[in-house]
Amino acid sequence: MMEPCRKESIDIFDFSTGRIEKVEKICRSEEEWRAMLTPEQFEVTRLKGTERPFSGTCSMPAEGQVGVYQCVCCGTDLFKSITKFDSGTGWPSFWDPVSELNVRFEPDESLGRYRTEVLCARCDAHLGHVFDDGPPPTGKRFCINSVAIKLGEHQKQASQKATFAGGCFWGVEAAFRELLGKGVISTRAGYTGGHTQKPTYEDVCTHTTGHAEAVEVEYDPSKINYRQLLEVFWRIHDPTTPNRQGPDVGSQYRSVIFYHSPEQQSEAIESKANLGKSGRFSDPIVTEIVSAGVFYQAEDYHQQYSEKHGKSSRR
């Protein structure tokens, strides 16, 4: 027997616009759901059934694109394709939802053991269960019935990464965070370019690790391109001072562009050459251009430091 649905307004994250929207919960009768769903979809989503493992299919977006899996009942965005992974269980698995606004959780002891049920927040469709044995960064495994989801028509170009070192990473990160919502998706401060594994801030300050203080920028190339990020990088530091930015002295403060692709390498080399010819700096530009390696995230207190302490980015 289906549980009654209560009409109310809720917040839902819209993948296509990147905004939180106010929507009405969807309530339909059993007859209405049966008319619009296949028997298997109805059994799983409305009666909390489970499809047989390895029996379903889960389409993937076009190469180089990020798609979103939506609720088969109401079209609510649920999981991005880039969070999908092969768990070997026979059901589609994801390590994170599009937004926790779009799903809700209920305790489930129906099999005589405790599990956490995952439902669509807008129409209460049963999707599957979530477990604590997934991969990083969340450690979660959303085990979802394939008949409960569908690949949405809207797809986005996959995000890309850019990594820069230009002195203390507090100011570098702050400058790129000014572009949040304008193409920059996220940033994180860390250490890279050296040989010591999992270095701490204290390790890097000994000048023996080879690492530079750096910032990794995740960006949407359909909204901001790599050349624009390079322009920000050149603007916020002095690329003519080896192992130094202002009062900060040491190899961890060197100027480096860590490229993630041959295209980034070519654009960085061209950009550096053009800057050298521009006459903006009287001294030679010493910025290194090297392939990106392992990036070690810095301690939590370094993340978004300028925002936490009310400091502005350097210009």
CATH of domain 9-156: 2.170.150.20
Q: Give the pLDDT band (50/70/90) at residue 315.
A: very low
73 a catalytic residue = no
Percent pLDDT > 70 in the chain is 96
Q: Which CATH architecture has domain 160-308?
A: 2-Layer Sandwich (3.30)
Whether the Cβ atoms of residue 159 and residue 66 lie closer than 8 Å to each other = yes
Q: DSSP for 77-142?
A: EEEEGGGEE--SSSS-EESS-S-TTSEEEEEE-TTSS-EEEEEETTT--EEEEEES---TTT--EE
168 a catalytic residue = yes
Catalytic residue among 71, 74, 123, 143: 143
Q: Taking 70 as the threshold, does the pLDDT of residue 1 lie above it?
A: no
Catalytic residue among 5, 27, 168, 205: 168
Q: Give the pLDDT band (50/70/90) at residue 3.
A: low
Percent pLDDT > 90 in the chain is 79
Mean pLDDT of 21-41: 95
Q: Taking 80 as the threshold, does the pLDDT of residue 79 lie above it?
A: yes
Q: Give the pLDDT band (50/70/90) at residue 84.
A: very high
Q: Residues 114-157: pLDDT tens digits?
A: 999 999 999 999 999 999 999 988 899 999 999 999 999 877 77
Q: Give the pLDDT band (50/70/90) at residue 22.
A: very high
Ordered by start, the domain boundaries in the chain are: 9-156, 160-308
d(CA 136, CA 159) in angstroms, rounded, equals 18
For the entire predicted model, the pTM comes to 0.56
Instruction: Kindly calculate the radius of gyration of the chain based on its CA atoms and give it in whole angstroms.
Output: 24
